[in-house]
Amino acid sequence: MEARIIIKNTLVGKLWKRLARRKNYSGVEVIESVNELPKNLGARIFLVSRGGILRWAIMACPCKCGDSINANLMESHSPCWQVKWRGNKISIKPSLWVSEDKCGSHFWIKSNHVYWVDN
Ligand SMILES: [Zn+2]
């Protein structure tokens, strides 16, 4: 654990992490409940749709930190993201971000591609 933290904080570690990041997602899977989520989300983006209403977009963080990202799609809640999806291709807007105290990832998803917003 300690060794991992040391590698993570070196320049080489940061560069390596950057190269290992996901560049695209493989596709979309629509489910009715978060209970249907597999343990390993893999490269898919899961859309939770119930009663004809899209509720959540859930995916593994593309930096591969192991966390999952849950984006709310319900307009009644804030913040709210919009998805455009046709077949297996999905775009999500606005950009998705993870707080700095976690991995700090910031990216867009357009047609399954991950576009990183790097500071
Ligand atoms: Zn991450």
What separation in Å is there between the alpha carbon of 19 and the centre of ligand 1? Answer: 13
pLDDT of residue 4 exceeding 80, the answer is: no
pLDDT of residue 38: 97
Examine the pLDDT at 1 and tell me if it is beyond 70: no
- Residue 52 Cα to ligand 1 midpoint, Å, equals 30
Task: Quote the pTM value.
Answer: 0.87
| CA of 54 relative to ligand 1 center, distance in Å | 24
Mean pLDDT of all residues belonging to the chain: 92
Three-state DSSP class for residue 41: coil
Mean pLDDT of 16-34: 93
CA distances to 45, 58, 81, 89, 92 from 73, in Å: 13, 10, 5, 17, 10
Q: How many domains does the chain have?
A: 1
CA–centroid distance, 67 to ligand 1, in Å, is 6
Range of 27's domain?
2-116
Chain segment 69-112, per-residue pLDDT in tens: 999 999 999 999 999 999 899 999 999 999 999 999 999 999 99
Q: For residue 116, how far is its CA from the centre of ligand 1 (angstroms)?
A: 12
